[in-house]
């Protein structure tokens, strides 16, 4: 069976070394950006993306904006960020606790299940594994609790400044 490169030799579309070399060059180096173009398309030099330049200009604007902020504006922005982080962490903890109750309810039912045949033992083990892995990864509140502790610690002095 011919490859994608040699098939065109066999069907007569490619008849010479330069044509075959041009075909193969599309997969490498200077012409890789043309690999999906028609073979008849003339060579076009690669045009670098302007994305990094746009990102740099955007970053410069953000820096200028940040440098022009007054201290009370920075403090207000930080308080808002911390308050939003606190709300998110509390909401996430609440959701994870509710999910943990649901999963543990099903897990207790699975643990009571007695497989009717030896062939069903694997199914029980699979179900237990699915539930315990979900609890391990999707009900872990450690990150949210750490975030909450960090946020609370940082908010204390900001609250005291108001007084």
| Torsion sign, CA atoms 30, 35, 41, 45 | negative
What value does the mean pLDDT of the chain take?
Answer: 90
Averaging pLDDT over each range in 19-28, 43-52, 80-89, which range is the top one?
80-89
CB 110 within 8 A of CB 127: yes
- Summarised one tens digit per residue, pLDDT across range 132-146 is 999 999 999 999 999
Nearest CA among 1, 22, 35 for reference residue 13? 22
Q: What percent of the chain has pLDDT over 70?
A: 96
Residue 141 lies in a domain: yes
Residue 12 lies in a domain: no
Q: What is the pTM of this model?
A: 0.63
pLDDT of residue 14: 85
Residue 57 lies in a domain: no
- Summarised one tens digit per residue, pLDDT across range 15-43 is 888 888 877 877 777 777 877 787 667 77
pLDDT band (50, 70, 90) for residue 154: very high
Residue 100 lies in a domain: yes
Q: How many domains does the chain have?
A: 1
Residue 150 lies in a domain: yes
Residue 16 lies in a domain: no
pLDDT band (50, 70, 90) for residue 162: low
- Summarised one tens digit per residue, pLDDT across range 97-134 is 999 999 999 999 999 999 999 999 999 999 999 999 99
Residue 81 lies in a domain: yes
22, with CB counted inside 10 A (0-12, 13-18, 19+), is middle
Domain housing 97: 70-162
Residue 37 lies in a domain: no
| Phi and psi based region of residue 29 (left: phi greater than 0; alpha: psi -120 to 50; beta: remaining) | left
Nearest CA among 91, 69, 78 for reference residue 157? 78
Provide the CB-side half-sphere exposure for 2 (13 A, CA).
9
pLDDT of residue 47: 82
């Amino acid at each position: 069976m011919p490859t994608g490169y040699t098939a065109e030799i066999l069907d007569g579309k490619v008849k010479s070394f330069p044509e075959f070399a041009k075909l193969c060059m599309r997969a490498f180096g200077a012409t890789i950006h043309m690999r999906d173009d028609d073979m008849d398309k003339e060579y076009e030099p690669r045009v670098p993306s302007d994305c990094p330049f746009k990102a740099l200009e955007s970053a410069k604007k953000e820096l200028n904006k940040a440098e022009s902020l007054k201290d009370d504006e920075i403090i207000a922005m930080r308080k808002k960020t911390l308050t939003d982080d606190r709300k998110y962490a509390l909401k996430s903890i609440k959701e994870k606790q509710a999910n943990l109750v649901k999963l543990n309810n099903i897990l207790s039912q699975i643990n009571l299940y007695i497989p009717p045949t030896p062939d069903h033992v694997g199914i029980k083990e699979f179900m237990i594994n699915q539930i315990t892995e979900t609890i391990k990864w999707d009900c872990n509140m450690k990150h949210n609790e750490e975030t909450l502790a960090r946020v609370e610690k940082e908010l204390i002095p900001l609250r005291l400044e108001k007084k």
